[in-house]
């Protein structure tokens, strides 16, 4: 959005999506929330019926376009000019919403969604969109790890004796296997690491193409290369895995990894590469937190993360049934992540 003198006052990514789009951009898939454990659904009165109705409704929309603002893994999708007052922010967002809804009407889009907002991070979005008839629903969580320790031993002391022993065994096994971790910038991203990323993508059923992935790396180097940290695990010169982080001041945002799945589970590559080594570096550099994005919630929280809800705002004006089912889904998600947090945030549990 531009101001009266042409200056940028608000920016947000927005896409016209359909069933061929990345699943993280397609409401017919990210609103299904089919990873919710049955125990959490059963604990919510009417939960199973509400999710069945919601999923049935979404199946009918699979072939229809949607308009989506937000990008998976890029939390806080609205940027505001620093000079705007709270009222001006709300006005600018209202105009942006008008524009998005006009685009949806022109494209015969069935759903309009704003998505991947960390809960309580943007009060303007929450107020403006809900007043306009959007329903708020948790579609997952960002696994957030505050770095509050002055040493790795301090990190370990937050776990039960059983979990500490397990982590120490994993660190020791990694070292004894002759694996080392190198730190690089974005220049490390090339065909070698792209091959590892493709293994990771294929494991989760995602489309993978080496040439396109390497081209994506070139764009990353051009646009955000200065903010990237890449940790690469090697054994005898061979890359076994990598993980990327975007640095935003004192915060690291984990992005995409890659793994050689033939390396074997006995070297504990995942935990050392994604958690133990980056945590030690983060402590030494005064990083305040690391965000590990969505998915693998139990695993990430077992290593110290806490879940922060990621919200979608779905236009439901005039559709009370859809709004009601989304509200039930939101309660189920809150129940789910409250349970996970309780299981992993109390000292003495492991």
Assess contact for 41 and 35: CB atoms under 8 A: no
d(CA 10, CA 81): 6
Q: Token pair for residue 275?
A: 């958690």
Distances (CA, A) of 150 to 168, 279, 280, 281, 285: 18, 11, 9, 11, 10
In the chain, CATH 3.40.630.30 covers 148-287
Pull the structure tokens for residue 313: 């705002």
SS3 98: helix
Q: What is the pLDDT of residue 347?
A: 47
Q: Give average pLDDT by consecutive 10-residue segment, the chain, 350 residues.
A: 86 90 88 95 97 95 91 74 95 96 95 95 96 97 96 95 96 97 97 96 84 95 95 97 96 95 93 98 98 94 96 95 98 98 65
Alpha helices (H) along 158-296: 161-176, 191-203, 210-224, 269-271, 277-285
Say what the pLDDT of residue 350 is: 40
Which residue, 287, 288, 305, is CA-closest to 296? 305
Question: Cα torsion for 27, 119, 315, 89, to the nearest 10°?
Answer: -120
What integer pLDDT is reported at residue 294 of this predicted model? 93
d(CA 113, CA 17): 11
Q: Taking the model in full, what pTM does it have?
A: 0.90
DSSP calls for 287-349: --EEE--SS-HHHHHTTT-EEEEEEEEEE-TT-HHHHHHHHHHHHHHHHHHHHHHHHHSSTT-
pLDDT of residue 346: 45
Half-sphere exposure (Cβ direction) of 157: Cα atoms closer than 13 Å: 7
Indicate the CATH number of 148-287 among 3.30.2350.10, 3.30.470.10, 3.40.50.1820, 3.40.630.30.
Answer: 3.40.630.30
């Amino acid at each position: 959005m531009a101001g009266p003198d042409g200056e940028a006052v608000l920016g947000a990514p927005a896409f016209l999506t359909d069933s061929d789009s990345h699943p993280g951009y397609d409401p017919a898939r990210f609103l299904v929330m089919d990873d919710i454990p049955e125990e959490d659904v059963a604990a919510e009165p009417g939960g199973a019926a509400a999710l069945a109705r919601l999923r049935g409704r979404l199946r009918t929309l699979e072939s229809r376009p949607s308009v989506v603002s937000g990008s998976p893994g890029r939390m806080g999708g609205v940027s505001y000019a620093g000079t705007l007052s709270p009222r001006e922010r709300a006005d600018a967002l209202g105009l942006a919403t008008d524009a998005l809804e006009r685009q949806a009407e022109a494209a015969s889009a069935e759903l309009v969604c704003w998505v991947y907002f960390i809960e309580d991070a943007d009060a303007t979005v929450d107020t403006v969109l809900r007043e306009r008839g959007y329903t708020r629903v948790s579609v997952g969580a960002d696994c957030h790890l505050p770095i509050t320790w002055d040493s790795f031993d301090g990190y370990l002391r937050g776990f039960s004796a059983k979990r500490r022993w397990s982590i120490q065994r994993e660190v020791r096994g990694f070292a004894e296997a002759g694996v080392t971790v190198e730190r690089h910038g974005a220049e490390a991203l090339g065909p070698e690491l792209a091959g590892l990323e493709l293994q990771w993508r294929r494991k989760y059923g995602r489309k993978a193409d080496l040439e396109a992935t390497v081209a994506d790396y070139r764009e990353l180097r051009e646009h955000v290369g200065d903010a990237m940290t890449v940790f690469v695990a090697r054994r005898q010169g061979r890359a076994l895995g990598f993980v990327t982080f975007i640095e935003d001041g004192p915060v690291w945002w984990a992005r995409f990894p890659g793994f050689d799945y033939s390396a074997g589970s006995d070297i504990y590559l995942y935990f050392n590469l994604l958690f133990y080594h980056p945590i030690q570096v983060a402590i030494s550099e005064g990083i305040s937190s690391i965000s590990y994005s969505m998915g693998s919630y139990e695993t990430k929280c077992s290593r110290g993360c806490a879940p922060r809800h990621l919200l979608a705002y779905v236009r439901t004006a005039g559709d009370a049934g859809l709004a009601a089912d989304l509200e039930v889904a939101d309660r189920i998600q809150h129940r789910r992540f409250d349970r996970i947090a309780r299981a992993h945030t109390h000292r003495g549990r492991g």
